[in-house]
Structure 1
Amino acid sequence: MADENDPRLRNESFPLTGNDLLTKFCEDAAKTGQKLTLLLISSLEDIYNFLISNKLLIKKLISNLEVLPEANNNRYDIEAATNFYALIVVAVAATIEPEIFAELAKTGNENIQKAQDLSFYRNAFHEDPAKRFRLDRDREYFLRTRTNWFDNHSDTDPRPKGVEISAFTKVVVYNALAAIGVSGEDSLKALNVLNIQPDSIASDSEQVRALKRRHKVVGYEIKRIVDGKEVLESEVPGINVEQMVNSLKAFLKGSLISAPLLGSKETDGSPGAPERPRIR
């Protein structure tokens, strides 16, 4: 959430901070009797701090939800996650290769994905865990979870030291499921990216039935009883991976098609060269 001095929010035509805007949304929704859908990305610290100051207002607008402590975003600040009414589930099902970002960079916009991956990788080199993004996010963790480095290298091979890691990185689009999930019933049907878990069935526990009354459940486990014990038989991710990847690429490219509305147009300097959008 931007602070009060963020120049993107402090200007004559749009003089509101993130907190100002969220307060306005909440107050307007309360007046009209509407509920809000909050798409929360990364940790919950900002929204939790907002909740502390606006608890009564928030409780009017948002139903009580359940926290999954093992979900990645919740683990950053479990106290904030526990005290906020949010269910956040991180799903990794679709991989987008870095080539799409190189293609987008040809428009003149910065290849931010490459810069971010390099920053995370170099950060993982710190000998002192306290200086890393997360204590457990060392170089080996990055190589095994964010790259396909070990597909063609052994454990004894020298590790990449810098920019060469870009050729092996996998793009983690962990917010995509949440973003598409709140896009509306018509969009979900047209995109065909999610297989929503069916309404309650006979084998559902009461806890699961209560969950389904409040949420769309994407992905589930199939279990069976063996020797009196519950055993995981298979997992259904609930995501049509190819459709998810195609949709995300289309959204990324579509955002740049509209870029001339957001910034100036430039050419490469050659006679008759076409104008290209560039976002400032």
Structure 2
Amino acid sequence: MTAFIDFSVQPPTEEFLAELRRDDMSGYDRTYALATGDFPTVPALVEALEAADGQAVIKAIDARSTRGLHISNRHVADLCAAGRGRFVGFAGVDPHAGARAVEELEEAVDIGGLRGLNLQLYHHKMRADDERLRPLYETCLRLGIPVNLHIGMSFSGSPMRFGDPLAVDAVACDLPDLRIICAPPGFPWIRELIAVAWRHRNVHIGLSGLRPKYLGKADSGWTELLAYGTNILREKILFGSAHPLLPIQRSIDEVRALPLPDEVARMWLHDNARRVLGDGHVA
């Protein structure tokens, strides 16, 4: 069995790294010491994942209407095909494209073999409950794939309102069978996101971009996530480093250093992600 599934990794390709070099993303430079030197090439990343018995979820982005940003589904599918089983790909489509976005999602899954949908809400300038997203959610249900939603603040130039997790509550009320991953984990709306995940059986919380050590640090704003994630939300937390924002191995080590029972640490690092992705989609 795979030792861990990192639910958020950006491979070191020009397409992915270009996102972090955009002017509207410059705020990340103030917050993260980018770990781009960890894996200078995709083969180096694949070899490291093989050595650690890990897998990484990599996500396309299509925000051409609002940001002129595009990490294509074909690029992600090609990386997955060359990744010796170490990558699980999520599609990215532009919800402003209407029916064409639905067609592209179907093609990415049926032809490209991608296993989920990624929506960077702050890029799209949409809240999770925007009606223009409904056809994409319904397509995810029909195709049997999960959707990843960027929840919480971002360091881009978009207003924070697009990351409000209460909008996810409305989606989950209407579509209770839709598997939703909220990542990053909702700062500053930690309690609201906990309530949404507690309330809805198919809403999960991804740790993407959060140093796990801060979950155990008093006054960090994250300690309630650790408290609930150890108990009633133990099956809802998904590990994600957001590499190169954070180093993968250091993030794993910090999860294992938290006051978690071994069983819960295993759930966070692997079992929960496997269940959300679906048996047969990952090792």
**TM-score, normalized by length of structure 1?**
0.27
**1 or 2 for the larger relative contact order (CA 8 Å, sep ≥6)?**
2
User: Rg: which structure is higher?
Assistant: 1
Structure number having the greater strand percentage:
2
